[in-house]
Amino acid sequence: MQSELLKGKTAIVTGGGSGIGEAIVKKFAANGAVVYLIDCNADSGEKIVAELKKKKQQAFFQLCDVSNHQEVVATINTMASKQPIQILINNAGVAHVGNVESTTEADLDRLYRINVKGVYNCLYAILPFMRKQRSGCIVNMASIAAVVGLADRFAYSMTKGAVLTMTYSVAKDYLNYNIRCNAISPARIHTPFVDGFIAKNYPGKEQEMFEHLSKSQPIGRMGKPEEVADLALFLCSDSATFITGTNFPIDGGFIKLNS
The closest of 194, 213, 225, 226 to 254, measured between CA atoms, is: 213
Question: What is the C-alpha separation between 108 and 206, in angstroms, rounded?
Answer: 28
- State the Cα angle at 158 between 155 and 164, rounded to 5°: 145
Q: Counting Cβ atoms within 10 Å, is residue 67 exposed (0-12), middle (13-18) or buried (19+)?
A: buried
- CA distances to 142, 185, 214, 217, 225 from 251, in Å: 12, 8, 12, 7, 12
Question: What is the C-alpha separation between 28 and 128, in angstroms, rounded?
Answer: 23
Question: Is 174 tagged catalytic?
Answer: no
- The one-character DSSP state at 135 is -
Question: What is the C-alpha separation between 178 and 131, in angstroms, rounded?
Answer: 8
Among residues 112, 120, 124, 156, which one is catalytic? Answer: 156
Backbone angles phi, psi at 102, to 5 degrees: -95, 5
Catalytic residues: 156
